[in-house]
């Protein structure tokens, strides 16, 4: 892998290139085709490659918590994050793997799935839902996960992020989907977009990586890495302090 912006460098220090600038920071990590599709045939796998998977794993290792919408969790078959040897130094002083936090308005989740039954106690899955979610489902979720109520009819993402920070989970990695991304951006909660651009023209009717309410958030291109035609871009919200990679 090589860096091509803001300066040229062969074999850069990748963990340093993606280091969090501060303890409270929300990063979106998404992959898109060259023509802007967020998935191929409903899944992101068709856009990915070996280098993208390495970056995906690294970003999880750097994060305190991984945030995802219920649709993404269902479609992509989420399981608990597992410790990796390569994370040992990255996570010094923290649990060996981050918990997964799921945003769900109606609690339409399979609470018997591995995401809930196989999570380690130090990385218990977190469910973020609403007061209007069915009471029996809230009780069941509370028995299987760490339950956060954030909002009445809709999930209040600012409240949700604040609750995560109160739990010491300030470095948030959001893996989508596009609707959650759009809501986070509209709420002014996104500090950074880590975008992989896949060398593929997808066509079709796939959503963009932000799909929904408009936000018009100005960002600055802070870094571009390249491998095998894939571009790995870091965009920082303007007026944010950026740690050089």
Under the banding of pLDDT at 50, 70 and 90, the label for residue 244 is: very low
The DSSP letter of residue 214 is -
Q: 161 pLDDT exceeds 90?
A: yes
User: For 187-217, how does the pLDDT look when each residue is reduced to its tens digit (9 = 90+)?
Assistant: 999 999 999 999 999 999 899 999 998 888 9
The DSSP letter of residue 43 is B
In whole numbers, what is the pLDDT of the chain averaged over residues? 95
* pLDDT of the residue at 245: 41
* pLDDT of the residue at 153: 95
Cα separation, 57 vs 34, in Å, equals 22
Is-above-0.85 flag for pTM? yes
User: For 12-57, how does the pLDDT look when each residue is reduced to its tens digit (9 = 90+)?
Assistant: 999 999 999 999 999 999 999 999 999 998 888 889 999 999 999 9
* pLDDT of the residue at 222: 97
Runs of H (alpha helix) within 111-150: 114-117, 135-144
Domains assigned to the chain: 23-30+49-237 (3.40.430.10)
Contact between residue 227 and residue 54 where contact means Cβ atoms under 8 Å apart: no
Burial letters 141-179, b for 16+ CB under 10 A, else e: beebbbbbbbbeeebbbeebbebbbeeebbbbbbbbbbb
* Cα→Cα distances 223→10, 215, 243, Å: 14, 22, 11
Contact between residue 154 and residue 140 where contact means Cβ atoms under 8 Å apart: no
Residue range 160-169: mean pLDDT, rounded = 98
* pLDDT of the residue at 44: 86
Calculate the dihedral angle through the C-alpha atoms of 46, 66, 218, 231, rounding to the nearest 10 degrees: -40
* pLDDT of the residue at 226: 98
Residue range 126-152: mean pLDDT, rounded = 96
User: For 94-114, how does the pLDDT look when each residue is reduced to its tens digit (9 = 90+)?
Assistant: 999 999 999 999 999 999 999
Closest C-alpha among 189, 185, 70, 184 to residue 127: 70
User: For 59-87, how does the pLDDT look when each residue is reduced to its tens digit (9 = 90+)?
Assistant: 999 999 999 999 999 999 999 999 999 99
* pLDDT of the residue at 243: 45
Lowest mean pLDDT among 45-54, 126-135, 167-176: 45-54
Under the banding of pLDDT at 50, 70 and 90, the label for residue 133 is: very high
Cα separation, 170 vs 23, in Å, equals 6
* Cα→Cα distances 47→5, 116, 149, 173, Å: 23, 27, 34, 19
Q: 240 pLDDT exceeds 60?
A: no
């Amino acid at each position: 892998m090589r860096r091509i912006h803001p300066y040229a460098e062969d074999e850069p220090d990748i963990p340093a290139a993606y280091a969090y600038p501060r303890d409270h920071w929300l990063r979106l990590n998404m992959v898109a085709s060259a023509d802007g599709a967020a998935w191929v045939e409903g899944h992101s796998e068709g856009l990915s490659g070996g280098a993208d998977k390495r970056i995906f794993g690294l970003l999880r290792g750097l994060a305190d918590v991984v945030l995802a919408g219920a649709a993404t969790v269902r479609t992509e078959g989420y399981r608990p994050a597992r410790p990796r040897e390569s994370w040992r130094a990255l996570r010094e002083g923290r649990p060996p793997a981050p918990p997964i936090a799921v945003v769900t308005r109606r609690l339409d989740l399979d609470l018997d799935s591995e995401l809930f039954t196989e999570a380690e106690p130090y990385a218990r899955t977190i469910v973020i839902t609403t007061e209007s979610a069915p009471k029996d489902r809230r009780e069941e979720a509370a028995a299987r996960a760490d339950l956060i109520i954030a909002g009445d009819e809709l999930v209040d993402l600012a409240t949700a992020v604040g609750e995560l920070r109160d739990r010491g989970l300030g470095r948030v990695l959001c893996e989508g989907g596009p609707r959650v991304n759009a809501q986070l951006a509209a709420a002014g909660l996104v500090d950074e977009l880590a975008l992989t651009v896949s060398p593929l023209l997808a066509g079709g009717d796939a959503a963009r990586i932000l799909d929904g309410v408009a936000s018009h958030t100005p960002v600055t291109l802070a870094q571009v890495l390249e491998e095998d035609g894939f571009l790995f871009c870091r965009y920082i919200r303007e007026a944010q302090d950026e740690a050089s990679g």
